[in-house]
Structure 1
């Protein structure tokens, strides 16, 4: 999507957008929003910890390195962070964990970009619907052994869909999703490769839950962005009502969960990228003019 110059009218100028991620993860989107004249704010809701029991993941990684899987399926950028951490623990690069005979499939463009930046070839990735549903729609492999590391709260849909297509799926918990902040001794800290995820500009301001509730109550937030079903649930818990604030979902699973728990979804980002999120926000605000 072409990016307009900051002076162009796009409906975002002056809009206050709450991003429900930690400041470091929110920075690329915040920087892009700022360039469009919006005011990004951050409310960290969820964080990620290493799985309490590492044995199943370590055992599956041993099998991966030994060439016992036909596919490695990566369903989130957080899983990539886990694998980067595991590779560092073993004193190797991430690409060294995946034999040449094992194909890699992923869902989002960020995960694909990181994996390709470290020398892995992504054999399969959806282009239209970037979700588990989208990956299953383009999955043409019949049978095969699949390694699927996921979050502890991951929906069973991807695992069940692959199994229904004849795959022998080894699914293990790669990380736990927790309320922010994660415990320091368990928090995932692996850095993505330099230059892959561009972080421009200063850190966006971070609000506490009380500050965010006050801003919501007085109607000074124009939109809130949720990146996962768990984030949608936390938003519903923190804010009794969104008032005039629009809920923007990243992906269909997040939108579906928001609707299920009674949140009105104003727009759904078609791609889980800063550009995709900005496009969703523009679709909401472009015809309303900028706030005074």
Structure 2
């Protein structure tokens, strides 16, 4: 089983693969470059956002040491992202049942700037007691009410589709979406490439369009069937020329492995 990312994700995915009786081959095909978003973080610290929307663990890293006012709520697209936020001391107020941009928008709990915002201060005020410590910084938001009551910060990948921004704008929110990181392709290691070309890899777990494009660039077309994390990744993988064999119902590694065991083909097939 080819795992296209290393680090903590690769370690956890490897453990999951081994638990199913398969052999993981960690072969990072993408890397990440952080992009500073200091102006947005300064606005956040000053109480300028009602919500922060985080759509990946990598985006969560952009909030390391960020000062988040107690009245600002955080939305995480799924459980893995929520876990990454909690490691930073940030507790999500909202995690959709369907772990996708579509699910986040469909289940969005705030009707927008026209909604009643009385719940933002459950104790009836925004004084010093409402300051919430996040990471290594804290801020008193009582002196800096949100400039725009429906304003949302969405730190995103350079390759992110506009789904989140367009969906929240349709709900009446104003969205700031600074690029917080860039995805860069990596060449596979010599040993991994040899095993791929020797036909020793049964499936590649493809977790995003950027992984799909990197895989397509790294190995000849049709070399490895892919298991994708969801419909959007399936579409992007096919556009890159990759054969998609299975598609996960649950958007995580466990769901991808379940798809193999259950023979779950992409939706609509």
Relative to the length of structure 2, the TM-score reads 0.77
Relative to the length of structure 1, the TM-score reads 0.72
Q: Show structure 1 runs of 5+ residues with no match.
A: 1-16, 88-93, 182-206, 286-292
1:268 to 247, 256, 261: 247
User: Is 1:178–2:184 an aligned residue pair?
Assistant: yes
Which residue in the other structure is 1:218 paired with? 198
Q: Which moved more, 1:256-265 or 1:116-125?
A: 116-125
RMSD (CA atoms): 2.1
1:61 to 14, 35, 41: 41
Which residue in the other structure is 1:148 paired with? 154
1:238 to 204, 213, 218: 218
Q: CA deviation at 1:23?
A: 4.7
3-state SS of paired residue (1:68): coil
Are 2:221 and 2:241, in contact at CA under 8 Å, matched by a contact in 1? no
Mapped to 2, the partners of 1:263 and 1:248 lie a distance apart of 10
Mapped to 2, the partners of 1:273 and 1:138 lie a distance apart of 19
Provide, for residues 151-201 of structure 1, a one-character-per-residue CA deviation record: whole Å limited to 9, x for no partner.
1121112111111221100110111111238xxxxxxxxxxxxxxxxxxxx
Which residue in the other structure is 1:136 paired with? 105
Q: Show structure 2 runs of 5+ residues with no match.
A: 114-149, 265-269
Which residue in the other structure is 2:174 paired with? 168
Aligned length: 227
Q: CA deviation at 1:104?
A: 0.8
Q: CA deviation at 1:26?
A: 0.6
2:76 to 87, 100, 106: 106
Which residue in the other structure is 2:235 paired with? 256
1:120 to 83, 90, 105: 90
Mapped to 2, the partners of 1:71 and 1:23 lie a distance apart of 29
Which residue in the other structure is 2:52 paired with? 72
Mapped to 2, the partners of 1:123 and 1:49 lie a distance apart of 28
Which residue in the other structure is 1:20 paired with? 4
Mapped to 2, the partners of 1:220 and 1:180 lie a distance apart of 21
User: Is 1:33–2:2 an aligned residue pair?
Assistant: no
